[in-house]
A and B are shown apart, each in its own frame.
Chain A
Amino acid sequence: QESVATPKRNIQLSNIVEECANGRRVSRVLELTPKKTQPDRAADDEPITPKRRGRPPSIAREQPVVLVDEEPKTPKRRGRPSSAGPSLSTPKSASKMKLIRSGAIKPNIHSRDAPVEDGANDLAIARERLHVSSIPTSLPCREKEFDEIYNFLESKIYDGCGGCMYVSGVPGTGKTATTTAVIRSLQQLSDDEEIPKFDYIEINGMRLTEPRQAYVHIYRQLTGKTLAWEQAYNLLDKRFTTKAPRRVTTVLLVDELDILCNRRQDVVYNLLNWPTLSTAQLIVVTIANTMDLPERLLMGKIASRLGLTRLTFQPYNFKQLQEIVMARLTGTSAFNSDAVQLVARKVAAVSGDARRALDICRRATELADDQSQKTNQEVTVSMVHVQQALAEMIASAKVQTIRSCSLMEQLFLQAVTAEVTRTGIEECNFLGVYAQFEALAAFSGITVPNTGRAMAICARLGASRLLICETGRNDIYQKILLNVSTDDVHYALQASKLL
């Protein structure tokens, strides 16, 4: 059987092969051709066992049968077509893994049969352009920073010597986008042979399982082979410490530098020590969020090697945010300019994050799109939609949650606020709260739940993070802290009959 209905989402390095080493091309149907030497291996790769296929899943769920010769597996859902022909797990055959590690096979994912058709109206175009992932060709409002990074890299590549640079700024201020744009333009120049050639490598601290995997990633991008980190480090060290004629400059971009700092800080030390050697010709650009990271986190010897080329990206102000959004919307008349200004002002007052502004605009277009589909007429994005989107994004969920709590939970919250106002301390223990709870319940003529029930109520409120409470083991002596401000509680409970 072949499944044609749903596109599969699993990524397989092995079954889909662009170019095998022996030149054989594997078709799209995912016919796993078993090796003649290992016929039993291919059979093992079948994810389901023939024994259990006929059995209805309910029985399997009630009485899980553990067979000795195989590990127990959850029964397959019936709705899914059974994969008798193609196997859906990555084969563990050693030769395949070898090919993957040596870089002969390239990873590939399923593609659609045909591209998705999209109605080409103004709103759809605007929505596509406002997506965070679509980076414009030129970044507005970042010309100064662009020039600074460009000058640094160009002079270093031209001189053929190494160096370090540290770029910092709060999230969403265009650090990585600017740096990659600089490197793109430099690569263009080196293709035109105006400046010397250079290799470009990038690693991201958040994509590594542990700091030392950085060596593996760097080596893989240099040669295409995957090795263990120790081997990769030794080879890199040899490469950078020995003299070689005709060595080209290497530009290394290290994103999220603070993740690479472990206790010994050996990875950061090595990455910043190589540029100081005359043989390496390595230029390292590091990116992080905090301005004073080298002084706060790194050892003295590493901060000394990092040097003093620092660049700080400031948060965007509202004019710049407006310019960024308008630059993306050139040529479409989907947006009201006042609406853009409102978004820019709101975001600039809080954080100055460009991603946030783009997301809010995108949400506003979606809301306008819904309205246009309902009414069947063209709608431009106006202040109303933006207000709605802002309310969704910067909504206070806590008040809503308190309003939708059960009566007893609301009463309990009130009891906590009363206890806080009585004692004047933010932290109160369960005993005092329960006393208030009893009093409040007596006022409203409700029978009081016993302490066990009240603790269950308290635990529920703690799970939804309206309260912060200790574990229930301390029983009546556990500490309780209100996680919302007292005004919020009063405001939310005004409508209820309790007050």
Chain B
Amino acid sequence: MHRRTRLSLRSSIVHDKENEHEEQTTPRKRRSKLPVNVIEDETDEEVVPSPKKSARKSRGRPSLPLPKPIVESEDAEQADTSWQEGSASELVGKLPEREKEYDQLVTFVENVLDKGGSGSLYISGPPGTGKTATLQRILNHGPFVGKLRPVYINCTSIKSVGSIYKKISEALGLKVTGGTEKVYQGAIEAYLQRKHKTVMLVLDEVDQLSSSKQTILYSIFEWPSRATARLILIGIANALDLTDRLLTRLKARCDLKPHVIQFLPYTKQQIVTILKSCLEATDSLARFPEPALALLAAKVASTSGDIRRALFIARRLTEGVKKEDRKNGTTTPTAVTTVSMGQVMAVLNQVYGGAQTLSQDLDEGFPLQQKILICSLMLVLKHGKNKDITVGKLHDVYRSICVKRNLHAVDQTEFINLCSLGKKEPRMHRVYLQWDEEEVSAALNDKQLINSIMDDVSCLGK
């Protein structure tokens, strides 16, 4: 990690000019010696091209990962037909409920293009709110195709923070002599100085680039403020205040401060609309009654507003319906079985009902010794004054309880296995209860045992 001050910035600009001068001489000579073998056949996996070559090969539009297919929520009989048609392309055409943000983005980019300048933008929002999907649409937006040079990079795919420059220069198709981080950075900055098309650099999951001094993030966010940069920089992350928190020094200069767009979690109505449009695309709307959709959307919107979850639950429901279809042997479209409210409730409870499923699970197979352990822990918590309990202390209490009940108490090593702790000093390790007491007593479901132990203050001893 080298620290970039203003002085070094200036010197590096000077250095870049030298680089530029060099680039006109040396690389050409070198290239004349090196025959570049272009491999046409994409599917041939026998030839393993080194990453550099493969990057050089893909000039023009980068192949972008397509967003989550809409097939997610239709029933599978139609799924395999529409999936073959490639419904993802339809999705790029329109995204329901994200039109406002889309228009904002388009106007932003158009403004920048008209001025011929550059701008930076930061997009935030919780996971599953359609940030990446919206940007895919912008990258494939018709009017922009000729004027822009899109570069999409997902920052989780880089080896270390510093290698982002290498990735960017490969995506731009620059020829770089040498291999250090600084050389790549210089090459990119030199490219921005020269005459070029406006570059649209999209950095997905930009919070992966944060380091101790934030040199990388600062240097990247400084690029748009250069005179001839013509760069549109878009960063995507989950945190609302990433630019304020990590990049405080950008506030000092207004031209550096990125424009911020927020993607809010989906509301109930929006989720209903999205699901409906998905189902209409495959004419399976008859399968979902209105109230069932409303219930599903209300539940998802109240917890997270994550569309991935909503699509997932809808898909699960349709799979269940399909299974029933197979059982009944009805494949005619007239007699379709609909998703009932009961099914929706059941799936939602499975997914979101922590305590209920916990108690169901626990009274089935919950080893006796573990029950006693939890009871003794609760006893100590209830009557003991200090709340940090070591394993050794807990074991003593547990032993005395076992002796009173005429049960065979397990040894301390076994006991530590019961607690399933893996610390260096087991006897000194602290134990905490992770749930509520009511929840535990509901889970243990063995009221007699609990009551008898909870009243047993004498076991605490001392």
Contact = CB atoms under 8 A, between A and B. Distances in A.
Interface of A: 151, 155, 158-161, 170, 223, 225, 227, 230-231, 233-235, 237-238, 241-242, 244, 264, 266, 269-270, 273, 276-279, 300-301, 303-305, 307-309, 312, 314-317, 320, 348-352, 394-398, 424, 426, 468, 481-485, 487
A247 to B, nearest CB: 10
B427 A305 contact: no
Contact of A314 (B72, B313, B361): B361
Given A244-B43, A264-B208, A352 B365 contact: yes
A320 B312 CA distance: 34
Contact of A159 (B80, B157, B369, B392): B80
Contact of B156 (A230, A266, A279, A484): A266
B157 A487 contact: no
A317 B370 CA distance: 13
A468 B417 CA distance: 19
B16 interface: no
B79 A159 contact: yes
Interface in B384-416: 390, 392-393, 395-396, 399, 410-414
Given A227-B48, A468-B425, A485-B412, A301 B462 contact: no
B128 A304 contact: yes
Contacts of B427: 468, 481-483
Contact of B367 (A273, A276, A351): A351
29 contacts: A151-B319, A151-B323, A155-B322, A159-B80, A159-B83, A242-B42, A266-B156, A266-B157, A277-B68, A278-B69, A301-B127, A308-B309, A309-B316, A312-B361, A349-B367, A349-B368, A350-B367, A350-B410, A350-B417, A351-B367, A351-B417, A352-B365, A352-B367, A395-B411, A468-B425, A481-B427, A484-B412, A485-B395, A487-B399
B71 interface: yes
Interface string B413-448: 110011010000101100000000000000000000
Interface in B287-331: 304, 306, 308-309, 312-313, 316, 319, 322-323
A464 to B, nearest CB: 14
Nearest to B126: A300
B242 to A, nearest CB: 13
Contacts of B418: 350-351
3 closest pairs, A vs B, by CB?
Answer: A278-B69, A304-B127, A314-B365
Nearest to A267: B156
A470 to B, nearest CB: 11
Contacts of B316: 309
Given A161-B72, A278-B68, A307-B312, 15 more contacts: A155-B319, A161-B71, A235-B48, A277-B66, A279-B65, A300-B126, A300-B238, A304-B127, A304-B128, A314-B361, A315-B365, A320-B365, A483-B392, A484-B412, A485-B412
Interface string B31-68: 00000000000110100101100100000000111101
Nearest to B84: A160
Nearest to B371: A349
Contacts of A161: 69, 71-72, 79, 83
Nearest to B74: A159
Nearest to A396: B411
A241 B65 contact: yes
Given A231-B50, A301-B238, A269 B393 contact: no
A304 B308 contact: yes
Contact of B68 (A155, A242, A276): A276
B351 interface: yes
B256 interface: no
A160 B365 contact: no
A242 B367 contact: no
B43 A394 contact: no
A308 B238 contact: no
B159 interface: yes
